[in-house]
Amino acid sequence: MSDSRAWKKIRSLGEGGQGQTFVVQRTDRTDERQYVLKSLKNLDRSGRFESEITALSRLAHPNVVQIIDHGDDSGRPFLVMEFCERGDLAGFDLRSHSLLSRVLMFRQVCDAVATAHRNRLLHRDLKPKNILVRANGTLAVGDFGLCLDLTETDDRLTETAEAVGPRDYIAPELEGGRVESPLPSSDCYSLGKLLYYFVFTRPSSTISRSSRKFAR
């Protein structure tokens, strides 16, 4: 654990309602690689931010985004993660990949979620925006800010008394916070919607051939 002075900000990756993200490098230049620093802006969400740090610290899997550092910057927590150079799946062009390739990519997401479930963690926010793409094309599941630790039963009721997760990918039982004890099956529902996302996007060549066929 360190403070943010150990990291030099290179450029901003954007700002949301909860925090800010930056591409950073180590100030001491012992490592020339770039990373992502996520700084909490809305302190009312500090509990979720701490949950994300705890979750990422517990998970060691090639398809889960790697946490590098975390700390406190004048009362504002931050974490540093690996930088996935090709952005997120929502902005990634799947059309150039074959169906088999996309199914294998989807399997990487499943492997990451299975690891989280074995560690008694529910992600609860699975969507293309939270699937990151590395320079080598491998995927990493990120953003565990809404994750639920099934081992912390004392906090479960308050944590699940609100609707969480992406509207297009959330399991029906999580809408409106109706369920008191979420199960791994909720993540599995979201995985099913993600599989549709992977499969539905066809390669450009296939789209072109289909267009010509119907044009005739």
Tell whether 150 and 95 lie within a shared domain.
yes
Q: What is the CATH number of the domain that holds 142?
A: 1.10.510.10
Q: Tell me how many domains the chain contains.
A: 2
Q: Which residue has the tokens 């925006």?
A: 129
- Predicted confidence at residue 191, as pLDDT, reads 97
Give the end of a domain, one of 58, 82, 106.
Answer: 82
Residues 53/67, Cβ–Cβ less than 8 Å? yes
Tell whether 94 and 196 lie within a shared domain.
yes
Tell whether 174 and 77 lie within a shared domain.
no
Mean pLDDT of 57-83: 92
Judge whether 149 counts as a catalytic residue.
no
- Predicted confidence at residue 107, as pLDDT, reads 98
From residue 58, alpha-carbon distances to 88, 143, 195 in Å are 23, 14, 26
Angle at 112 between CA 30 and CA 81, to 5 degrees: 25
**132 found inside a domain:** yes
Tell whether 22 and 115 lie within a shared domain.
no
Tell whether 67 and 96 lie within a shared domain.
no
Q: Max alpha carbon distance in the chain (Å)? A: 66
Tell me how crowded residue 179 is: count the other CB atoms within 10 A of its CB: 14
**Mean pLDDT over each residue of the chain, to the nearest integer:** 84
**153 found inside a domain:** yes
Tokens for 89, please give them: 């799946």
Q: How does pLDDT run across 134-164, given as a tens digit for each residue?
A: 999 999 999 998 899 988 755 544 444 444 5
- Taking 80 as the threshold, does the pLDDT of residue 53 lie above it? yes
**210 found inside a domain:** no
Q: Which of 81, 79, 82, 83 is nearest to 3 (CA)?
A: 79
- Taking 80 as the threshold, does the pLDDT of residue 104 lie above it? yes
**205 found inside a domain:** no
> Which residues, including other chains, have CB under 8 Å from residue 193's CB and lie 6 or more apart?
168, 169
**137 found inside a domain:** yes
Element (H, E) at 208: helix 204-215
Tell whether 116 and 183 lie within a shared domain.
yes
From residue 44, alpha-carbon distances to 39, 40, 61, 100 in Å are 13, 9, 30, 43
Tell whether 125 and 194 lie within a shared domain.
yes
- Which is catalytic among the residues 69, 88, 125, 143? 125
Tell whether 97 and 135 lie within a shared domain.
yes
pTM: 0.83
Q: Which residue has the higher pLDDT, 51 or 112?
A: 112
- Taking 70 as the threshold, does the pLDDT of residue 1 lie above it? no
The domain in which residue 78 lies consists of 4-82
**72 found inside a domain:** yes
Q: How does pLDDT run across 165-201, given as a tens digit for each residue?
A: 557 888 888 776 556 678 899 999 999 999 999 998 7
- Predicted confidence at residue 207, as pLDDT, reads 39
Q: Which residue has the tokens 């450009």?
A: 204
**177 found inside a domain:** yes
Q: What is the CATH number of the domain that holds 18?
A: 3.30.200.20
- Predicted confidence at residue 145, as pLDDT, reads 87
Give the end of a domain, one of 82, 102, 124.
Answer: 82
Tell whether 28 and 116 lie within a shared domain.
no
**206 found inside a domain:** no
- Predicted confidence at residue 63, as pLDDT, reads 98
